[in-house]
Every structure is written in C-alpha cells, then in structure tokens.
Amino acid sequence: MPRHQRGKTSSSAPGASQRQLRVGELIRHAIADILSQGGVHDDTLSGHIITVPEVRMSPDLKLATVYIMPLGGRDIEPVIAALDRNKKFLRGEVAHRVNLKFAPDLRFRVDERFDEAERIEKLLRTPAVQRDLKTESDQD
C-alpha cells in the first residue's frame, strides 16, 4: 500500500482528523475559560456571557474558526467586532494555555445551530407535520 494511504480506508468518513478535533477542543476550552474569567478587558465582552460551542481547525492547525453565541443571541455583531479587536490578545493567551508549535490565527463566526434547531422545532409543531405523524402512528 502506498505510504500516503496507510491507515486510511476508502470508507473512512470525510472531515476533520482526530488531531484537528482534539486541538479544536483544547482551544475551545481555553477561549471559554478566558472569556468566562473576564480575561479580556473590553466593555462589550464584559457585558455578555458568551458560549463557545465549537472550534474548527484547519488541516495544518494554523487557523482556528471559533463559533460563538452570546447568551440570548443579543448583540451578535458588536460581540464579534469586540472579539476581532482583541484577537491578538486572545491568540497570545491561547498560545500560553495550549502547547502547540504555532499559535493558530483566530477567526470568529456566529454559531447558527441554535437558530437552525429552533426553525426545525417550529416545523415539527406545524399542523401539517402533526397530521402526518398522527396518520403514521394510527397505521401501526
């Protein structure tokens, strides 16, 4: 078997490697700790509780996309702008907390999973879906 294919099968799932997932989780914990402890001295950030549900790493581990959501989904744009302003400080703090060869560049994005989950919940509660679910359970 050629060297570049060793350990991989044709049925392996596409996506992030174990290393990417592990490093992303370490960075997620570090950023969540920094934000929860008030380590960033910014008025916008100090007035919000910010959830960090996921960090996705690039394959070379040099770019971290940090998905965030302020509590209640309020003031998303100002929070993203404040995080971008403090990106250099956060990168330095992550470098001290996570032992990597290079500190990754941080990119902040809004986590839209919560909105998507709410949209699906609303769809499931519509009368048409309820009617279809009732009909299927009556046939059994």
Please write the tens of the pLDDT for every residue from 69-97.
Answer: 888 777 889 999 999 999 999 999 999 99
Please write the tens of the pLDDT for every residue from 9-49.
Answer: 333 335 778 999 999 999 999 999 998 888 888 888 888 88
Write down the pLDDT at residue 122.
Answer: 81
Domains and CATH numbers, the chain: 14-111 (3.30.300.20)
β-strand pairing of 105-110 with 50-57? unpaired
Question: For residues 87 and 106, what is the distance between their CA atoms, to the nearest angstrom?
Answer: 7
Q: pTM of the entire structure?
A: 0.71
Mean pLDDT of 116-123: 78
- Higher pLDDT: 38 or 135? It is 38
Six token digits for residue 8: 């991989």
On the 0-12 / 13-18 / 19+ scale of CB atoms within 10 A, 29 is middle
For residues 32-60, one letter each, b for 16 or more C-beta atoms within 10 angstroms of the residue's C-beta and e for the rest, the string is bebbeeeebebebbeebebbbeebbbeee
